[in-house]
């Protein structure tokens, strides 16, 4: 049995504090008041609707990411218990992904993957990212309508194409890879809350797995530069990745790298357009772009929360979290914690000491952070350079119903251009 009311405050069963409300349209549009209430009223909160603890203070989020177990992928038995044994293939892929492992299995996988993804390799991608961004903007300008959907026209294809190149698969496959990974991301963002939706992702996972196994087989005959080949040849102390591990981690890298980067670009553009003085500051000083990207990641974090399991009975914020209970660490709430960030609801592109939680913390700190930062920086540099005027339209904005991965369904903009 899970405790419902918190022994310390008696408020743990306050239904209005449930993260479940993230599906309410007004909370989805602006979750930060809910996060503020959680942080101030019940920072280590038992959410009876999600059957999980919800942790919202910066320091507590770090403790959870640092000390708690990441081994939370649902097992095939879990799906059997749900009456959906056919979903087992999803579990078999997830348990091989680094995101869902603890040391020593995680350390082994990450150290085998690390040589495939060094900052030096990322630097090589810089010119390509710049060219892809320029081509996408050329396409928008060629239409000559003065209007665009920043999401569909730029923020989705940019990471999708970059990811295909990074993996070393044919670039023309980026559309289907994007489709499959969007379906998988829908589950990753929501699975603690909506296990029923898992059946929908089954075919995406099967397609992705088959695709990567075929790519591995093709590259055995004809190697191609990229992450797949690096995974295939990585060796640490005689240890190699199996084909299943390569496919599973190509999937997590691809999914992890697309939706989030897309959302960094659109959420970031929206934040800038809602803060014209900050946008003007950035236009006046391109040197501010790297710190602006960090602040945009803090302010509207693309990955709002993640989950862990308590390794033992643990005391946190005066509450006892029982061994194996689920804990949702809300990075986006920690990123607005006034104990850590002065005036946290203010967008300040020059903010110093900005060690935000948007890429997570500790062992699972985002594997692709150097690439994400580079893509974000190039995207904003190019957008501001090529579009001297950018403006929101009066069309309403809708957020995706994905609790973990925060992003818009579309971002219609008008522009004035420099060709």
Residues near ligand HEM (CB under 6 A):
65, 98-99, 110, 252-253, 256-257, 260-261, 264, 302-303, 306, 358-360, 364, 366-368, 371-372
Find where tokens 């308590």 sit.
310
CA-to-CA distance for 265 and 158, rounded, in angstroms?
A: 10
> Alpha-carbon dihedral of residues 13, 63, 402, 34, nearest 10 degrees?
50
Determine contact, residues 185/227, Cβ cutoff 8 Å. no
CB of 255 to ligand HEM, least distance (A): 8
Instruction: Decide whether 252 or 403 has the Cβ nearer to ligand HEM.
Output: 252
Cα angle value 181/184/190 (rounded, 5°): 135
CB of 174 to ligand HEM, least distance (A): 14
CB of 101 to ligand HEM, least distance (A): 7
List, in order, residues 6 or more apart from 93 with CB less than 8 Å away: 205, 208, 209, 247, 248, 251
CA-to-CA distance for 389 and 414, rounded, in angstroms?
A: 8
Instruction: Decide whether 43 or 268 has the Cβ nearer to ligand HEM.
Output: 268
Instruction: Decide whether 5 or 103 has the Cβ nearer to ligand HEM.
Output: 103
CA-to-CA distance for 331 and 360, rounded, in angstroms?
A: 7
List, in order, residues 6 or more apart from 96 with CB less than 8 Å away: 244, 245, 248, 249
Determine the residue with CB nearest ligand HEM. 368
CB of 266 to ligand HEM, least distance (A): 11
Determine contact, residues 254/167, Cβ cutoff 8 Å. yes
CB of 92 to ligand HEM, least distance (A): 18
CB of 360 to ligand HEM, least distance (A): 3
Residue 410 three-state SS: coil
Instruction: Decide whether 38 or 366 has the Cβ nearer to ligand HEM.
Output: 366
Instruction: Decide whether 264 or 270 has the Cβ nearer to ligand HEM.
Output: 264
CB of 100 to ligand HEM, least distance (A): 8
Q: What Cα–Cα distance (Å) separates residue 73 from each residue in 78, 127, 181, 346?
A: 10, 37, 17, 36
Instruction: Decide whether 93 or 372 has the Cβ nearer to ligand HEM.
Output: 372
CA-to-CA distance for 33 and 407, rounded, in angstroms?
A: 18
Determine contact, residues 293/377, Cβ cutoff 8 Å. yes
Instruction: Decide whether 62 or 415 has the Cβ nearer to ligand HEM.
Output: 62
Instruction: Decide whether 43 or 302 has the Cβ nearer to ligand HEM.
Output: 302
CB of 39 to ligand HEM, least distance (A): 19
CA-to-CA distance for 20 and 63, rounded, in angstroms?
A: 23
């Amino acid at each position: 049995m899970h405790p419902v009311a918190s022994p310390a405050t008696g408020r743990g069963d306050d239904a209005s504090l449930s993260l479940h409300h993230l599906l309410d349209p007004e909370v989805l549009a602006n979750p930060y008041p809910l996060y503020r209430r959680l942080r101030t009223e019940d920072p280590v909160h038992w959410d009876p609707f999600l059957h999980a603890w919800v942790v919202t203070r910066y320091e507590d989020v770090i403790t959870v990411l640092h000390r708690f177990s990441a081994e939370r992928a649902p097992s095939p038995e879990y799906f059997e218990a749900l009456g959906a044994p056919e979903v087992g293939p999803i579990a078999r892929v997830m348990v091989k992904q680094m995101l869902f492992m603890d040391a020593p299995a995680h350390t082994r996988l990450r150290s085998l993957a690390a040589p495939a993804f060094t900052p030096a390799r990322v630097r090589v991608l810089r010119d390509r990212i710049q060219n892809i961004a320029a081509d996408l903007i050329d396409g928008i300008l060629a239409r000559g309508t003065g209007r665009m959907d920043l999401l569909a026209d730029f923020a989705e294809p940019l990471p999708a194409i970059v990811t295909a190149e990074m993996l070393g698969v044919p670039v023309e496959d980026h559309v289907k890879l994007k489709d499959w990974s969007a379906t998988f991301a829908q589950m990753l963002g929501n699975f603690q809350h909506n296990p029923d939706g898992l059946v929908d992702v089954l075919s995406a996972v099967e397609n992705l797995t088959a695709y990567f196994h075929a790519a591995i087989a093709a590259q055995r005959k004809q190697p191609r530069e990229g992450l797949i080949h690096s995974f295939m040849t990585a060796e640490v102390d005689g240890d190699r990745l199996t084909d299943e591990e390569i496919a599973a981690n190509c999937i997590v890298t691809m999914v992890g790298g697309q939706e989030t980067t897309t959302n960094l670009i659109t959420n970031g553009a929206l934040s800038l357009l809602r803060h014209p003085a900050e946008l003007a500051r950035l236009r006046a000083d391109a040197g501010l772009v790297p710190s602006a990207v960090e602040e945009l990641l803090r302010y509207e974090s693309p990955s709002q929360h993640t989950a862990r399991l308590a390794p033992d009975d643990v005391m946190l914020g005066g509450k006892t979290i029982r061994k194996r209970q689920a804990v949702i660490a809300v990075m986006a709430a920690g990123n607005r914690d006034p104990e850590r960030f002065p005036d946290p609801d203010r967008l300040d592109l020059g903010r110093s000491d900005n060690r935000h939680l948007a890429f997570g913390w500790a062992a699972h700190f985002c594997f692709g952070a150097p690439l994400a930062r580079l893509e974000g920086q190039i995207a904003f540099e190019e957008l501001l350079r090529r579009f001297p005027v950018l403006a929101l339209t009066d069309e309403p904005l809708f957020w995706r119903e994905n609790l973990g991965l925060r992003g818009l369904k579309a971002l219609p903009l008008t522009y004035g251009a420099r060709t």
